């Protein structure tokens, strides 16, 4: 990556300057190099300014000394000191154009790296209860988790995508009762609707579906004949709907991990036994409590209810132990919704109580902030049990998967976002995602033009007999312009964007880069013609266009958005 190479180059310059006694000794410096790509510079470093304090010398003098000892490099056309002591670097155009061939040789792999070293990483996301349809908020977690998984794969990680299915516990019981109430009603039988039951219309729909498909065989007294089996039946419908939504969003999981199975295997009991052996358990009021975890001094949490059944917390502890101890993931990334943020500290405390390393190095918990859905101009309150929420399905049907994914991936995860449904629908054709896709389609269009010309005349350029590019013509046949160089330079920045986005767990960086990149290409497209009578120029520009197409396609693939050839 260019940034790394320039960084190393500057570090060499500094060492040489220090060896020559021109700069004082200092601890090893990793030169931070920033990509600028504006009038000021292509790349820039402010490291001399920071060094000034350490070696007690004027920053400009340090920067000058570094440049004086800079080893020659094919990448660098020019390097100079600017302002208070910035080191500005301009890339060599010839080197940049050479790299375009490297881009095309890599093709779909351009942007990938092995910085992950093959580490086994689990990304657990969505994991919404199968007690109702996915909400728009769950969609955010899904899209972000999926994009993160794609980024990690592209940067050399061995990724497992996992959905933790809460198919056991109190909420599932309540769901079973809620659905059974409606199911029984189909056969004119009475069954109580639970006090905290699921109010959404879907509960009735599921009840009707079971009645239609299974007949009256579940009928019991006030409850289903085989309550556990009936719950499983309802959960099955819920999961099927969830899978369909996720499928339409282009999200696939490697593992659907069942909480029910985890309990059945005795893992929850085993985790509780370990906690107790380690002295983190207290019994009070007939319940079992988690006490004394690091940072949990002022809060105690129930592990086993007085009724005798374990809580979600207890099951999640066992689940995370399974991730690390049984399956040996080197790193686990949980993507949770904002409503779970209170669960973070106790989860980490519990990991430590199990003698596990819950440090950020192993367990990362990313919390996505709320998605406010604005309908009819008002921000609605979301809640699955109240039945008042905007289903992901509705968003998907209204704005489509590409725009939905783009919207969720265009913001940092810790920013609360507002999704105005009406606006989203109306703005459909104006959505930036189509702007990026259009850039890709235009690349394909240029290639079609070139191919058609070649087929009829033997050369791509011949087709452009009448066409020319006035800007390029001014500098002579076959000459590329500064605009070609700028577009090529921007293309070469892509791998770095991907690496940074993966490392920081910030998929939105890719989104923003692509928007910027598409803008650069559209401007270029309007100003310059690729297929012209100038055969040499045409050939070189077709290479550039091919590289642009790879960057756009690869970037969109990371976001899970398709790259159409025509629009």
Partner RNA sequence: GCCCCCGUAGCUCAGCGGACAGAGCGGCGGCCUUCUAAGCCGCGGGCCGCAGGUUCGAAUCCUGCCGGGGGCGCCA
* Binding residues for RNA restricted to 381-410, rule: CB under 7 A: 381, 410
The pattern of x and - marking residues 417 through 436 that bind RNA according to CB under 7 A reads xx-x------x-xx-x-xx-
Closest approach, Cβ 312 to RNA, in A, equals 3
For RNA, the binding residue among 25, 285, 378, 476 (CB under 7 A) is 285
Chain residues 133-152 in contact with RNA, contact rule CB under 7 A: none
Q: Which of 375, 379, 371 is nearest to 422 (CA)?
A: 375
Closest approach, Cβ 232 to RNA, in A, equals 15
Strand order in the sheet with 86-91: 34-35, 43-45, 86-91, 76-82
247 binds RNA (CB under 7 A): no
Chain residues 169-188 in contact with RNA, contact rule CB under 7 A: 169-171
Q: Which of 286, 289, 284, 287 is nearest to 317 (CA)?
A: 289
530 binds RNA (CB under 7 A): yes
For RNA, the binding residue among 270, 299, 388, 425 (CB under 7 A) is 299
Chain residues 152-171 in contact with RNA, contact rule CB under 7 A: 166, 169-171
528 binds RNA (CB under 7 A): yes
Between 205 and 467, CB nearer to RNA = 467
| C-alpha to C-alpha distance for 412 and 369, rounded to whole angstroms | 9
Closest approach, Cβ 330 to RNA, in A, equals 25
Q: Encoding tokens for residue 7?
A: 């960084």
Closest approach, Cβ 215 to RNA, in A, equals 30
449 binds RNA (CB under 7 A): yes
Backbone angles phi, psi at 337, to 5 degrees: -80, 160
205 binds RNA (CB under 7 A): no
567 binds RNA (CB under 7 A): yes
Q: Which of 110, 127, 120 is nearest to 153 (CA)?
A: 120
49 binds RNA (CB under 7 A): yes
**In 41-135, where does DSSP find H-type helix?**
47-55, 59-68, 93-106
Closest approach, Cβ 190 to RNA, in A, equals 25
Chain residues 329-348 in contact with RNA, contact rule CB under 7 A: 338-343
Between 211 and 334, CB nearer to RNA = 334
Give, in order, the Cα–Cα distances in Å from 114 to each of 8, 42, 64, 153.
Answer: 19, 25, 35, 9
Q: Are 428 and 402 in contact (CB under 8 A)?
A: no
| C-alpha to C-alpha distance for 281 and 294, rounded to whole angstroms | 13
Angle at 409 between CA 403 and CA 414, to 5 degrees: 140
Closest approach, Cβ 9 to RNA, in A, equals 16
Q: Which of 118, 115, 114 is nearest to 157 (CA)?
A: 118
Chain residues 73-92 in contact with RNA, contact rule CB under 7 A: 82-84, 86, 88
Chain residues 453-512 in contact with RNA, contact rule CB under 7 A: 464, 466-468, 506, 508-509, 512
Which residue matches tokens 């004949």? 225
SS (H, E, C) 445-483: HHHHHHHHHHHHHCCCHHHHHHCCCHHHHCCCCCCCCHH
Between 189 and 467, CB nearer to RNA = 467
Closest approach, Cβ 435 to RNA, in A, equals 4
3-class state of residue 43 by DSSP: strand
Chain residues 110-129 in contact with RNA, contact rule CB under 7 A: 129
Between 211 and 501, CB nearer to RNA = 501
Chain residues 346-375 in contact with RNA, contact rule CB under 7 A: 367, 369-370, 372
Between 111 and 507, CB nearer to RNA = 507
| C-alpha to C-alpha distance for 114 and 455, rounded to whole angstroms | 40
């Amino acid at each position: 990556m260019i940034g790394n190479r320039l960084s190393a180059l500057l570090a060499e310059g500094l060492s040489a300057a220090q060896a020559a006694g021109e700069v004082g000794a200092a601890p090893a410096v990793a030169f931070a190099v920033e990509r600028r790509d504006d009038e000021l510079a292509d790349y820039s470093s402010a490291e001399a300014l920071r060094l000034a304090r350490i070696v007690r010398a004027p920053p400009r003098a340090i920067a000058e000394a570094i440049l004086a000892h800079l080893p020659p490099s094919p990448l660098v056309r020019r390097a100079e000191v600017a302002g208070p002591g910035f080191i500005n670097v301009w890339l060599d155009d010839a080197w940049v154009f050479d790299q375009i061939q490297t881009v095309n040789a890599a093709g779909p792999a351009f942007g990938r790296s092995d910085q992950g070293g093959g580490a086994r990483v689990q990304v657990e996301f969505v994991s919404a209860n199968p007690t109702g349809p996915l909400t728009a908020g769950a969609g955010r977690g899904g899209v972000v988790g999926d994009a993160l998984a794609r980024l990690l794969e592209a940067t050399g990680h061995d990724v497992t995508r996992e959905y933790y299915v809460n198919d056991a516990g109190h909420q599932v019981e309540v769901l079973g009762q809620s659905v059974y109430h409606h199911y029984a009603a189909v056969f004119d039988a009475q069954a109580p609707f639970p006090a905290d039951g699921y109010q959404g219309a879907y509960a009735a729909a599921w009840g009707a579906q079971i009645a239609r498909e299974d007949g009256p065989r579940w009928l019991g007294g006030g409850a289903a004949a085989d309550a556990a089996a009936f719950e499983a039946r309802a959960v099955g419908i819920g999961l099927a709907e969830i899978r369909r939504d996720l499928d339409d969003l282009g999200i696939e999981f490697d593992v659907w991990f069942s909480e029910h199975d985890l309990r059945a295997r005795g893992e929850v009991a085993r985790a509780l036994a370990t906690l107790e052996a380690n002295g983190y358990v207290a019994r009070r009021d007939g319940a079992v409590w988690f006490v004394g975890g690091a940072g949990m001094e002022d809060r105690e949490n129930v592990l086993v209810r007085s009724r005798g059944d374990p809580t979600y917390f207890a099951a999640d502890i066992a689940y995370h132990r399974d991730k690390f101890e049984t399956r040996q993931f080197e790193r686990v990334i949980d993507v949770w919704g904002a409503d779970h943020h209170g669960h973070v500290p106790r989860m980490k405390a519990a990991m430590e109580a199990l003698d596990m390393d819950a440090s950020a190095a192993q367990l990362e918990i990313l919390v996505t902030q709320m998605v406010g859905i604005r309908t009819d101009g008002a921000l609605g309150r979301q809640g699955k049990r109240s039945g008042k929420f905007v289903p992901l399905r509705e968003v998907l049907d209204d704005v489509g998967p590409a725009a939905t994914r783009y919207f969720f991936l265009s913001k940092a995860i810790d920013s609360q976002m507002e999704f105005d449904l009406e606006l989203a629908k109306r703005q459909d054709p104006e959505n930036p995602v189509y702007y990026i896709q259009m850039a890709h389609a235009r690349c394909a269009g240029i290639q079609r033009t070139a191919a058609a010309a070649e087929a009829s005349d033997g050369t791509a350029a011949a087709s452009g007999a009448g066409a020319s590019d006035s800007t390029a013509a001014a500098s002579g046949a076959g000459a590329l312009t500064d605009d070609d160089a700028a577009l090529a330079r921007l293309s070469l920045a892509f791998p770095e964007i991907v690496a940074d986005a993966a490392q920081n767990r910030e998929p939105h960086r890719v989104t923003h880069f692509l928007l910027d990149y598409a803008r650069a290409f559209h401007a270029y497209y309007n100003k310059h013609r690729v297929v012209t009578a100038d055969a040499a120029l045409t050939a070189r520009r077709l290479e550039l266009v091919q590289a642009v197409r790879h960057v756009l396609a690869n970037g969109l693939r990371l976001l899970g958005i398709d790259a159409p050839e025509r629009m």
